[in-house]
Amino acid sequence: MIVVTGGAGFIGANLLAGLEARLSSPLVCVDRMGTGDKWRNIAKRNLHDLVRPEDLPAFLAANKGRIETIFHMGANSSTTETDVDEIVRSNVRATLDLWDWCSGAGVPFIYASSAATYGDGRFGFVDDPSPAALAKLAPLNPYGWSKHFVDRRIAATLADPKAKRPRQHVGLKFFNVYGPNEYHKGAQRSVVHQIYPYAAKGAPFELFRSHKPGVPDGGQKRDFIWVGDTVDAMLWLQANPQISGLFNLGTGKARTFLDLAACVYREAGTEPNIAWRDTPETMRDKYQYLTEASTTRLRQAGYTKPFTELEEGVRRYVRNHLAATDPYL
């Protein structure tokens, strides 16, 4: 069986759909549903089991020998979370405990890191996994720090030839992922989803003004990646267990927020209608003006599938999901 933590979340739910479509292994979703519509993210899946995060240790103990791979997508992904103890519990401790379990059981472990580990990008966006390179990075918020903490701890472990490790170990620094089944994420939804209701009515949508000389309003750039591309990469990695390491998961091509907004309005059948608001002062010193993944290491590892262009990804998202009666995958 294959275990996906955070399986009812955005990327986890898309991963479960991809696994169901391409593999025959029983699928186990580890997550909490809460009281909203998050359950709909997995309502169409044929799952073997649904496990609460607090019950996962007992589940793993009872099923040792049956588990093929653990995909660890579960996390507190809020970049504005201020409860650092909660971040440590959800993002650091849970990940390292699963690393230890997979190391002892010989189970492949593929986990979610984040582009937030790069901070303001002053040291670039190269996924160098060496302890020395990782030590230079300075995340800007507790979420990014928690992911970076795990990356550094794993790098230190791998530097010790006597230390146990999973049979396959992959960390993925996700960049700006967008696509279906993110509807429960509130303020953490992709900008595509946030813009669409305004674009559908032709109403103005407010983007942040630039507060950096040389960068025009709306000229801030992100490496936007279609969620289906992240699933394809994860399934390829699972199918190639000889490959381990820390990899960026972005397109390698940054686009502006104005580009993104224009795509959404165009697919909604309306003209772009952009208004501006100041970036909140509490965010200004933590705001990233550019993220752009280096994809060299992933390509050198053998992954050759092209990434979806922004225009095509937005087209799929709007036409097949946001404008559909049933937006769920």
Q: Which of 185, 212, 253, 286 is catalytic?
A: 185
DSSP single-letter state for residue 182: -
Residues 230 and 9: their CA atoms lie apart, in Å, by: 14
Going through the chain in order, the beta strands assigned E by DSSP cover 2-5, 27-30, 49-51, 69-72, 109-114, 169-174, 176-178, 205-208, 221-222, 224-226, 245-249, 255-256, 274-277
Cα separation values, 211 from 122, 219, 244, Å: 17, 11, 40
Distance, CA of 140 to CA of 197 (rounded, Å): 30
DSSP secondary structure string for all residues of 45-65: ---SEEE-GGGHHHHHHHTTT
Identify residue 175 by its one-letter amino acid code. F
**Does the active-site annotation cover 178?**
no
Q: What's the sign of the alpha-carbon dihedral 328, 108, 48, 74?
A: negative
143 catalytic residue (yes or no): yes
SS3 215: coil
Q: Which residue among the candidates 38, 111, 118, 143 is catalytic per the annotation?
A: 143
Rounded distance, CA 209 to CA 165, Å? 46
- In SS3 terms, 287-322 reads as CCCECCCCCHHHHHCCCCCCCCCHHHHHHHHHHHHH
Say whether 178 sits in a helix, a strand or coil.
strand
Provide the annotated active-site residues. 143, 185
